[in-house]
Amino acid sequence: MARVLDPQELLERATAARRAGRLSEALDLASQAVALSRASGQTGGADLPQALTQLAQALRDLRRPAEARLPQEEAVASFRDAGDGLSTARALRHLGGILDDMAAHRDAVPIYVEMMALYQAAEVAPLEMANAVRALACNAEGRGDRDEAEALWHQTLERYAALDEVFKRDYGLPDNPGVTEARARLARLQPSPS
């Protein structure tokens, strides 16, 4: 008889599957973690909102942002109800990204405003703040605000460039993907020569 996994084990497996590019498996594992958290009546702890976020991320990876929106909104509400400002900020960043994926860029603006207020009220790791500024840059670009996007991509580039060693040491990446993306986005925003 197979042992029943707990939500955290399912989420660890979902994360591993997602990193390995096994997106359908990640979706299945995250769905199981959500169902198991709900079945156990676990709504106030961290398992359910984490599982909801994993589920939303898996759906987003599969390019199903409209389906990802609801679980991510529920995750935001759960973290907010628990009074966990930093987790709420992270969940809002993901929700804003989902809205951007849906081309609902203007709807994402107040989400990002709340996210930044929460991040600025907390002690945030430099990589997490770089990711937050990146989200703002993507949103500005999506809204067609070229000047704001350019300014934010410059900030993003600076923040990621300061993290070269983190990407090498902690992630084993020879190149910094944040720097690469920021430079490419900035190049795209430059006016084409006449």
pLDDT digits (tens, 9 = 90+) for 118-165: 999 998 999 999 999 999 999 999 999 999 999 999 999 999 999 988
What pLDDT score does 87 carry? 94
More confident residue, 2 or 163: 163
Residue with tokens 């067609």: 144
> In Å, how far from its chain's centre is CA 84?
17
| Cα separation, 71 vs 51, whole angstroms | 9
Q: Are 30 and 22 in contact (CB under 8 A)?
A: no
> Across all residues in the chain, what is the average pLDDT?
92
Q: How many CB atoms lie within 10 A of CB 106?
A: 11
Nearest to 81 by CA among 94, 91, 95: 91
Q: What are phi and psi of 41, to 5 degrees?
A: 75, 15
Which residues lie below 8 Å from residue 175, measured CB to CB, with a gap of 6+? 167
pLDDT band at 194 (very low <50, low <70, confident <90, very high): low
What pLDDT score does 2 carry? 54
pLDDT band at 1 (very low <50, low <70, confident <90, very high): very low
Paired tokens of 71:
């679980």
Q: How large is the angle between the packed helices 7-19 and 23-39, nearest 10 degrees?
A: 170
What pLDDT score does 45 carry? 53
Give this prediction's pTM.
0.90
Most confident option among 4-8, 109-113, 171-175: 109-113
Q: Which of 52-56, 76-80, 120-124, 131-135 has the lowest mean pLDDT?
A: 120-124
What pLDDT score does 172 carry? 82
